[in-house]
Amino acid sequence: MGRPRHWQLSASSIACFKTCPFQYFLHYIKGIRKAEEPDHFRYGTNWHKVMEIISLPPGGKCVCVDNNECVICSGYGFVPDDIMTAVIHVIDDAYSKIPGSMDEEKWAVERVKLLYAASAYNWYYADKLLVPIMTEYKFDSPIYNKNGRAVPNVKIVGVIDKIAMVDGCRSVVEYKTTSSPIDSGSRYWNHLNLDTQTTLYLYIVRSLRN
């Protein structure tokens, strides 16, 4: 007999299996991926970069460790007093090269949308008190059965953007973008309440208390 396979389940892989088991088989078992990253993945990655910059203390020491080519501080070693200056630098760097498959106008529109979204986010949340507890928390957790025993050869893995105190409550902070309506009557919020990632990350945070 061969060695037992060790399974690493992430929010993405679980959601993929729920959508289409065959797609999961191709993607996570056979390792077949698309040649180019989908637009929403690229935009989401760049949004995370922007959120990391916005969370930096204006005027504080830069994380670059004296890198003369740092796009955040331009080599000065300190985060700009106006954090949006650093955000613009990072966005300009991310959109400096147009992929061969991307239309130039569409590329420019995507950049502007990201910049406007970052400006609105910074304006709205600038005075909101959010005390970080953990940032980019990586977890590799066992799955327990109903008897409290760990399921062999299976782990839940992932990265939580931030765990923070919000209004005196420990909260999971995940940076999301969407093209869906976000008004109070939108189905988007119901979707998030049942989303694989949302419920999985809450499970992980609650397990930390134990």
**pLDDT per residue as tens digits for the range 187-202:** 888 888 888 888 888 8
State the pLDDT at residue 124: 84
Which amino acid is located at 8 in the chain?
Q
pTM: 0.75
Q: Report the Cα 90 to chain-centroid distance in Å.
A: 16
* C-beta neighbour count of 31 within 10 angstroms: 7
Min mean pLDDT across 1-5, 26-30, 77-81, 91-95 is at 1-5
Min mean pLDDT across 35-39, 86-90, 176-180 is at 35-39
**pLDDT > 90 in the chain, percent:** 29
- Candidates 177, 180, 173, 181; CA nearest to 202 is 173
State the pLDDT at residue 95: 93
State the pLDDT at residue 209: 67
